[in-house]
Chains A and B, each alone.
Chain A
Amino acid sequence: MSNTFLGMPSLPVFGTGNLFEREPFPEFAHRELQDGQLRANLGHATRTIRQKRLSVVAELPDWEALRSAGSAIKESVMARLPELLEEFEANFTARGGTIHWARDGNEANEIVSSLIKATGETEVVKVKSMATQEIGLNEFLDEQGISAFETDLAELIVQLDHDKPSHILVPAIHKNRTQVRDIFLREMEDVDPELSNKPAELAAAARGHLRRKFLSAKVAVSGANFALADTGTLAVVESEGNGRMCLTLPETLITVMGIEKLLPSWQDLEVFMQLLPRSSTGERMNPYTSLWTGVAENDGPQNVHLVLMDNGRSAALADLHGRSALHCIRCSACVNVCPVYERTGGHAYGSTYPGPIGAILSPLLTGITAEENNSLPYASSLCGACYDACPVKINIPEILVHLRGEDVDSKRGTAKIPTQIDIGMKAASWALSSGKNLGLVEKTLPLGRLVAGSDKKITQLPGIAAGWTQSRDLPAPPKKSFRQWWNKEHQPPQKDADNPKPGQGADS
């Protein structure tokens, strides 16, 4: 109600694009878990990257200080977002760049498409970008008769295989070298039929495949890792040089960036360019970082655009308990340490953003009630490994719990018949409201022992509790409850020990 004063738009306005679960996470995950090859590929890759990250992080004596600085910088970006966006816009524009604002993914797609059409080109080269994956830009351009060529090796693999990315940093992490070789042999024209599965040879094949494209491309589309408000500078962090090719050779460069990617000052790069490479690829520094401020005379694209996109970010910002998810710098350290991700892979999350960060970011951008995104906050054991690994200290487990609460609240009172959870919660509320009630419940323990039988295991619980026993047994309950045992062991000292007062032992 008070959101509408001063003509302010009412919130939340949620995002569009590839941010949705089309089926609940548990169902998708259950299917993915049958794939032994997938689990082997993911296990191998995430183990490798975890080791690398740990060793380069251990080299820095001030890692925790950098994390604290990174977290505080991002928190201040969110607090000052409108003024910082305006400052960035003024500086970027002053140096010859053009800024476009997009309320959502559809509008961003329209803007990019019309900018490309204005050049008369029908082909663009692309640098790997989460923002353009999020809004489904390639598919949109395809409908408009524009072919977008992914140039990052992993994106290329995914695009050639007509597959979907499954990881923030390494979208083809679910494929091993032999599978990549087979995709290249099947989909790449003029590839050497003797191509082996050695990563170096596969990388060389990608180089050969894309070389002509780079040298003749007139338009490139990129994302951005950082935007520095006080200088109007954009940064792209990469490894292969495909980013440099796209950012340097074409005449027109169109960058799509979420509004949360800002940093207040040039100096802040000293924090984030230490945090990001070590957290993502486990390197002291990534091979290439490109920085540009508007247009540079005679150097690189002379027609430079930036699309600043909301697409649900303002909605996430409006969630006081969830807004810190916007601090994310897309390093994927949380993905690589997550025991759930390691087993299910990224496709089970449905959204462009998989893993722990995806489980909070996707529902924050779309709203918890959108499609099946309410299942995402449950895709976690709340072990907290993601929080420890996060370079900007996003408390992912806390936000997961908050979103579970949102999910439950959103369903409250909507069902006519109480659900099993409603009944269970009511029963628990009664049982736990007094010692007397709990004592009554504890009296049913022998019943559980009876069900467990001689092997002392309960192998199948009824109703929704069956989920618990689906992959493990429940041990038989003990003969007596803790409280019963305590009362027996801790009889109050009495002078006349031979004549205990009846009823004083057990609290019932």
Chain B
Amino acid sequence: MALLDVEDLSVTFARRGQRTVRAVDGVSFSVDAGEVVGLVGESGCGKSVTSLAIMGLLPKQPGLQVAGKAVFDGTDLLQIDERSRRDIRGRDVAMIFQDPLSSLNPVVPIGLQVTEVLTRHRGMRGEAASKEAAQLLDRVGIPDPKRRLKEYPHQLSGGMRQRALIAMAVACQPRLLIADEPTTALDVTIQAQILELLKDLVRDSGTALVMITHDLGVVAGMCDTINVLYGGRVVETARRRPLFRQPRHPYTVGLLGSVPRLDAGRGERLNPIPGSVRDLLPWPDGCAFAPRCDRRVDACLGEPPELVLTHDGRSYRCVNPAPLPGLTSGDEVRAAVPGQATPGSVPAQAVPDEPPAVPGLAAAPSEEETP
């Protein structure tokens, strides 16, 4: 049995006088012990809301509805009361956030913030707690940990802050670690350090890791299984190599075609996905990706595409998937997508018969920029 089983999770934000937003719309995935699972997608696809819902960290507000199941080791995290959830959170399941400066308390020394976890979950106090905290900082590669314990977050560099956050997360040797864009705010060289650290931690302690990111490169180097999200649903699930070699869902194909590669030759044009993440079809009306998809057929509209399971354990949600090339070459998959996505083509009007949509009033969440 899997360590974490998320089944049909959906999160709805309803506000009076505003359209209801289904941020997560039936996400299912599972994480085995010791496995690294990636949730990949662009902003607005629901990857962060998924993780916050699992952790029970969504701000309590009227109109928030969380449905579905998130079974961690036999307990449904969505059903238990706040007190028992607090016991699990930090001890069995821990989280690393994107922006370390805003997730650390600026007026409390680092040491106190790390010992807080130890006191709450492991009942350590005083000298023992600070000694353990220093060891934790040392383990995540913070030089001179004893002095660092007395320092405040602003005195640390971005990379060091992220390390401190990781130290807090691994303080109780959790069985599941959720990392939400852990390196997005960092420079590449620091990103490489942090990813290497996360890899080491996972390898040494057997912790399962859910890696939430928009960066396909990070996923390629770290994850065992990858879930690609679009419009609040998982559109493709596959092991690492098959996903990159033979992406089946047109969105995955498009994502891979959009990323300039460091090892590619100069002058190769990118194959972007036309339109923007806002051109979203509500799932009940068909495939959410259909307005931007170049493999769109009539069957895409009307009802949401079923999840197709294939023999090798992968699955995708598409009625007209990219063909499996006879030869396993990434280029052929890319070639299957015609390069009709010229930059000149006007976005926001990808569905031909629709009137020109006013971009600001589209149904999808309007955050498109990554912060």
Judge: A and B partners, yes or no.
Answer: no
Q: Give residues in A with beta carbon < 8 Å to B.
A: none
